[in-house]
Amino acid sequence: MHALLSRLRGPGFVGHLIALLAGALSTLSFAPYNLWPLGMLSVALLYQGLKEVTPKQAALRGGAWGLGLFASGVSWIYISIHVHGNASPPLAAFLTGGLELGLSCFFALMAWLWVRFLRPQGAWLSSLSFALLWFAQEMFRSWFLTGFPWLYHGYAHSHSWLAGWAPVGGVWLLGVMSVLVACLLSEWQLFRRPLQAVAVAALIAVFWCGGLLLQYVDWTQPVGKRLSVNLVQANIAQSDKWDPAYITHTLELYRDLTYAQPPTDLVVWPETAVPVLQSQSLYFVEGIAANLAQEGRTLITGIPVDTHDENGMRIYNGIMVGGSEPRSEYLKQKLVPFGEYVPLEDLLRGLIDFFNLPMSSFSRGPADQPPLQAAGYKLAPLICYEAVYPDFAAKLAAQSDLLITISNDSWFGSSIGPLQHLQMAQMRAMESQRWMIRATNNGVTALIDPRGTIRQRIPQFQQEVLIGEVQPMSGQTPYLQWRSWPLVVLALLVLLPLAWRRRQAR
């Protein structure tokens, strides 16, 4: 054991290799594998690997861990670049690898900061500072360059007892708890002292048993009647979605699948289900909405929304409630880089097909948009990528009775990406204790209850309609009220004094 620990903590290549493999191991803690103990083992290996290295070596080791995580966890990006962006395999691999290397820099920076400014003596402070800096890294990653809030550590506990803490502190709190415990369990010297061992065991019991008990706490209450819903999964191939020759077939397919179903309160079509600008297709949407309204049904659909002013035309990725007056619609705020807008557009646009994807010139919707109004209730709208931003989603959920997310994950084929996306939608339902309506083009279309349980779903790559019920909810979970601020304050109160003390000791 001592020899293994020396290799893990040593500054050489072996320690970096272990970190790389540990990062890849963490991917198995997320959907579809859900082996959450492996995520904690992965964190513990990185933590121990940083205990005796210099700041420069720590940056390499943290970067290696991050590369292992993202190379295994977001490799599905290759599919969208190669298959749908028409990039050659070498070019697609180069671009995917470049993104993964860039993302690994977040963990390189975290490791460097911890070793350079924070690495204190003592197992408890070391573990706590590492867990809080991990949280700070995830927060920074959700903001920098519009953010990439994917594979947060807390998602690994969507199905463990820790999930009960989600309404209290969101995915952030789950991550801090898990990282803290993983670090403490790796401090073997603690278990040579009975009192310290009892303290660690007590902390674990509070976290896990407390989470189990919190799963029985109702922070929100049902309001009004249950709504019947009809979610249309048309399963249209990405190669056909924006093909002008296929548009008529697409519109007729959604129309026919909708009319063939019994009446429900809500009919939901997925992201950009109508692949035509709103100004050109409004007659179609409003016509169907009017027919459905005669049966008491309300249509909600994804649609590109175009506006015109003195500055020209702007196009937004939108969601609208058909037939409502005044029109209830929402314009997406969190855009996907390269998929919905091209950074450095003047330089990159036209270089390769990947930078010319259909609808890759969306504008950002305005902030502080109100919830959608449908069937007498308020719905928090999240379009695709927006469902992975915890605080952003919480702000919308706090104003709403239901959550609705529409998506098109066909960009990522049969990879693990869409299943990771579904897991994040489950977490949003848990954090807000609200029902989540999730309509997608090719899966996974689902109804998720306030505990994050999938009540009904349509498998991927099937053309089908899901019919079920959801219950509007009122009330605020602690997370909806406070979001990440308590953890931000805690991190500042712990990390800044530790960094100052370390500086004074030099």
Question: 73-97 pLDDT, tens per residue?
Answer: 999 988 888 777 777 888 889 989 9
Looking at the domain assignment, is residue 64 inside a domain?
yes
Task: Please report the pLDDT score of residue 335 as a whole number.
Answer: 87
Segment among 52-66, 275-289, 338-352, 373-387 with least mean pLDDT: 338-352
For residues 71 and 172, membership in a common domain is answered with yes
* 241 has catalytic annotation: no
* pLDDT number for residue 225: 95
At 207-220, the pLDDT tens digits run: 999 999 999 999 99
pLDDT of residue 160: 97
Question: Is the domain of 392 the same as that of 492?
Answer: no
Judge if 17 and 44 occupy the same domain.
yes
- Of residues 81 and 180, more confidence is placed in 180
How much is the pLDDT for 359?
Answer: 57
pLDDT category of residue 4 using cuts at 50, 70 and 90? low
**CATH code: domain of residue 399:** 3.60.110.10
The band of 341, judged by pLDDT with boundaries at 50, 70 and 90, is: low
Q: Which among 92, 98, 100, 95 is positioned nearest to 74, based on CA atoms?
A: 100
Token pair of 271, please? 């992201």
- Write down the pLDDT at residue 443: 81
157 and 249 both lie in a single domain: no
Whether 63 and 6 map to the same domain: the answer is yes
Under 8 Å between Cβ of 208 and 174: no
Of the pLDDT bands very low, low, confident and very high (cuts 50, 70, 90), residue 453 is: very high
SS (H, E, C) 77-130: HHHHHHHHCCCCHHHHHHHHHHHHHHHHHHHHHHHHHHHHHHCCCCHHHHHHHH
Give the number of other Cβ atoms within 10 Å of residue 464's Cβ.
14
- Pair 420, 80: CB distance under 8 Å: no
214 plus 231 within the same structural domain: no
- 470 confidence band (pLDDT: 50, 70, 90): very high
Is residue 332 part of the annotated active site? The answer reads: yes
CA-atom Rg of the chain in angstroms: 24
Strand 266-268 to 328-331 pairing: unpaired
242 and 105, same domain (yes or no): no
Q: Are 234 and 371 in contact (CB under 8 A)?
A: no
Of 44, 63, 30, 42, nearest in space to 150 by CA: 30
Does 423 map to a domain? yes
Residues 170 and 39 in one domain: yes
Give 146's pLDDT tier (boundaries 50, 70, 90): confident
| Residue 365 counted as domain residue | no
211 lies in some domain: yes
**Residue 122 falls inside a structural domain:** yes
Percent of the chain topping pLDDT 90: 78
Mean pLDDT of 237-262: 92
Question: Is residue 351 one of the residues assigned to a domain?
Answer: no
Its domain, for residue 79, covers 2-218+483-505
Residue type, 317: N
Query: CA-to-CA distance for 166 and 451, rounded, in angstroms?
Result: 9
In sign, the C-alpha dihedral spanning 137, 139, 141, 144 is negative
What's the pLDDT band for 142 if we cut at 50, 70, 90? very high
In this prediction, residue 101 carries a pLDDT of: 96
Q: In this model, does residue 490 exceed pLDDT 90?
A: yes
Question: 444 pLDDT band (50/70/90 cuts)?
Answer: very high
Q: Are 223 and 401 in contact (CB under 8 A)?
A: yes
- Alpha carbon distances (Å) from 434 to 64, 262, 368, 424, 471: 38, 25, 20, 14, 8
User: Is 378 in the active site?
Assistant: no
Q: What's the pLDDT score for residue 350?
A: 55
Give the Cβ contact number of residue 349 at 10 Å. Answer: 13
Query: Mean pLDDT across the stretch 312-335?
Result: 90
Length of the chain: 506
44 and 144 inside one domain: yes
Q: What is the mean pLDDT of the chain?
A: 92
- Over residues 371-418, the pLDDT tens digits come to 999 999 999 999 999 999 999 999 999 999 999 999 998 888 889 999
Asked if pLDDT for residue 324 goes beyond 80, the answer is no
Query: Smallest Cα–Cα separation from 49: which of 27, 34, 66, 32?
Result: 66
Contacts of 264 (CB under 8 A, 6+ apart): 227, 228, 229, 230, 297, 467
Catalytic residue (choose from 100, 271, 340, 431): 271
**One-character DSSP codes across 238-272:** HHHHT-GGGHHHHHHHHHHHHHTSPP-SEEE--TT
Active site residue: 241, 332, 334, 378, which one? 332
pLDDT of residue 355: 55
| Per annotation, catalytic residue among 100, 378, 384, 431 | 384
Q: Are residues 205 and 156 in the same domain?
A: yes
Q: Are residues 166 and 293 in the same domain?
A: no
- Which pLDDT band holds residue 58 (cuts at 50, 70, 90)? very high
Q: Considering the domain boundaries, does residue 462 fall inside one? A: yes
**For position 353, what pLDDT does the model report?**
55
Residue 136 lies in a domain: yes
Q: Are residues 242 and 96 in the same domain?
A: no
Whether 344 shows a pLDDT value over 90: the answer reads no
| Tally of domains within the chain | 2
Residue-wise pLDDT tens digits, 105-115: 999 999 999 99
